[in-house]
Amino acid sequence: MTGSRPLALVTGASSGIGYELARLFGEHGHDLVVNAEDDRLEHAAQRLRETGAEVRAVRADLRTAEGVDRLVAALTGHAVDVAALNAGVGRGGAFVDTDPADDQSVIDLNVTSTVRLAKPLLRDMVARGVGRLMFTSSVAATMPGSFQSVYNASKSFVQSFAQALQEEVADTGVTVTSFMPGPTETDFFRRAGMADTKVGTMDKDDPAQVARQAFDAVMKGRGKLVTGSPKTKAQGVADRVLPDRVKAAVHRRMAEPGTAPDGDGR
């Protein structure tokens, strides 16, 4: 990186919301460090270079300590102006049926890597007195996730973590933003094994729209917001007042295996 333009880091950038965020940063004058663990990353990086950005692709699996260390090492010597910790994974199904290794994978990526990456990034930003840190949370953070229990709990952690950091860095010149998408048209539900669920087959929000709203929020220094369609925003409002037991029951109707309209749904 030449250092002539501000630098943005985006994890989970090979597709979906992460790619769209990276594209927006590139179009608005940032050079990019983009990360993902899959083989689509280099193709995404090539497309992102069309924005005029200098792009470094760091392929690393953030579910592992080695992957996190590799990404942190790639940032050594570079001042990150904005970091979007977006990488995440889910696993659908009843908790008693899911593989413990899959549950641990959700925790390792959504929780552990988020904490391990946020530490050096935030320390550097606070020391410089400038920077923007953003987290991809979820409306799932606001509700018990029946048949997606570990994922929703992991996003509740991310949401609480982000809001705690907002208070800690107040008046340092650094901002922390968490944005909360609803179901979005990405690879998430396929990778989570939720193709036979109502939420997996329903119409979803546009990742470009979600990313645009999140980008605007982080550049304005907003603390948190629900992103996406009016339907998703309405869900965010409802989740503030509905009892947890009601939200858990609603989530079950969306996420229980076999609830897809063309399956054995009820």
Angle at 81 between CA 106 and CA 205, to 5 degrees: 50
Let me know if 19 is a catalytic residue. Answer: no
Instruction: Give the closest residue to 197 by CA, choosing from 143, 265, 106.
Output: 265
Please give the Cα distance from 158 to 163 (Å, whole number). Answer: 9
Running DSSP on this structure, what letter comes out for residue 139? G
Active-site option among 25, 151, 161, 188:
151
Tell me how far apart the alpha carbons of residues 59 and 39 are, in angstroms, rounded to a whole number: 8
Burial category of 13 from C-beta neighbours within 10 Å (exposed 0-12, middle 13-18, buried 19 and up)? buried
Q: Is 104 exposed, middle or buried (0-12, 13-18, 19+ CB in 10 A)?
A: middle
Active-site amino acid positions: 151
